[in-house]
A and B are shown apart, each in its own frame.
Chain A
């Protein structure tokens, strides 16, 4: 309590926060990126460790030993043992909710009450965190709009366990969509953004406002026409968007595409051919909040870097 009060007025310097590796998990691989956030031109290290089929299935760890082995390879690659990892979108539920505010402790309680209404899980099986995006006063009470991210507690504990067993130390975790947003959207950007995370077997689409993910959709891609399946998902996404009353901003909205380069290109082509397409769709710069790509060319190729948005965002995420 005393330290918290001191830290409020005399915030500890950045060097007290250890630099950490950013790790993201997917069904086919584990990606890890490391750089020092304190440097304007950091030395970037990255590794992608492939996983056999069935080790991680739809974001859930099925074979913990194989994951530990893969993480041990990552441990040997980097100097820092600290890890900030992303939770796959398959395990995360993101939603917005308006709650009354009576006291600071009451917010957490109110959010907890809203969990079971918005997530198909018991509160005891859920880990959640939230970010207030708006507070309004109506009559004598305040109401806050918060974005809540909830995920399956048991699965998160599995990730924490395998990370510990591999000799790494967890400093934090964040849902993958928010990590990608931290990476591809410039931190001073204000407004509404769509982010498309296009991979071979998954398409994730996120709605962001002022750099906060308001909601996300994810779809498994089956064999067949990738563009068609993407557009189907995008149309559904736009229907969700109308729920958030941002239809008036739609013509101006920017779309940042990342993920596997080949599938990202397909997504861009689909968006350009999409009816009434007046949107600004482009492949992302995942280094936008790390370095100036025009001046300091990273060692990783642009095509490869598109797939590293998740772990880069995890490095940029704050630990507390």
Chain B
């Protein structure tokens, strides 16, 4: 029982609600504070990671800057490479020339090109043609056609390739001066 006037009872209830609210807020604040304190180590660790990453990224950035700054050298070397290629004999032209001289009875299995070779004291490209000739005459005429062409500096048809009458496997070495 409580014989207080109703207005007083209402005030009491308000006071109780107020105290309840204050206690609830205090508990909430305490929980928030504890949470904040417990999150601090993770925060500092993350902060350290971020700064490390930033340093690493700045290094990468510096390297890319250097790369950009080195671009003229790189372009220069590539240009030199292309210029050097421009002065040399084009492989397509060489193959085209060989094929134009090829008799019907001679089949070429492989062609190999090796640039910047020295042959008898001179620099140039060495071409090795391997294949099969149906008869000896065709091979001899192919060798002669190559020798007569002014396009090639030197043509060597090994004598061993002419030992058989028919189906002669052959290998011809051609040298073209730079």
Contacts of A128 in B (CB 8 A): 3
Chief secondary structure at chain B's binding surface: helix
Q: From A12, A16, A129, give the contact of B3 (CB < 8 A).
A: A129
Least Cβ–Cβ distance between A316 and chain B, in angstroms: 13
Q: Are B5 and A160 in contact (CB under 8 A)?
A: yes
Q: Are B1 and A87 in contact (CB under 8 A)?
A: no
Least Cβ–Cβ distance between A179 and chain B, in angstroms: 10
Least Cβ–Cβ distance between B11 and chain A, in angstroms: 9
Asked whether A156 and B2 contact (CB < 8 A) given A12-B20, A320-B12, A320-B16, the answer is: no
Contacts of B2 in A (CB 8 A): 129, 172-174, 317-320
Q: Quick one: closest B residue to A13, CB to CB?
A: B23
Least Cβ–Cβ distance between B16 and chain A, in angstroms: 7
Q: Are B23 and A130 in contact (CB under 8 A)?
A: no
> How many A-B contacts if CB must be within 8 Å?
57
Least Cβ–Cβ distance between B10 and chain A, in angstroms: 11
Q: Quick one: closest A residue to B1, CB to CB?
A: A129
The answer to whether B17 has its CB under 8 Å from any CB of chain A is yes
Q: Are B23 and A156 in contact (CB under 8 A)?
A: no
Q: Are B5 and A127 in contact (CB under 8 A)?
A: yes
Chain B residues numbered 1-36 whose CB sits less than 8 Å from any CB in chain A: 1-5, 8-9, 12-13, 16-17, 19-20, 23
Q: Are A157 and B20 in contact (CB under 8 A)?
A: no
Least Cβ–Cβ distance between B149 and chain A, in angstroms: 107
Q: Are A130 and B12 in contact (CB under 8 A)?
A: no
Asked whether A87 and B12 contact (CB < 8 A) given A12-B20, A16-B19, the answer is: no
Contacts of A319 in B (CB 8 A): 2, 12
Write out, one digit per residue, whether chain A residues 159-174 have a CB within 8 A of any chain B CB (1) or not (0). Answer: 0100000000011111
Contacts of A149 in B (CB 8 A): 1, 3
A119 CA to B78 CA, complexed, in Å: 117
Q: Quick one: closest B residue to A6, CB to CB?
A: B20
Write out, one digit per residue, whether chain B residues 104-127 have a CB within 8 A of any chain A CB (1) or not (0). Answer: 000000000000000000000000
Q: Give the one of B4, B8, B16, B23 with max A CB within 10 A.
A: B4
Contacts of A129 in B (CB 8 A): 1-3
Asked whether A173 and B20 contact (CB < 8 A) given A319-B12, A320-B12, A320-B13, the answer is: no
The answer to whether A153 has its CB under 8 Å from any CB of chain B is yes
A147 CA to B1 CA, complexed, in Å: 10
Least Cβ–Cβ distance between A24 and chain B, in angstroms: 14
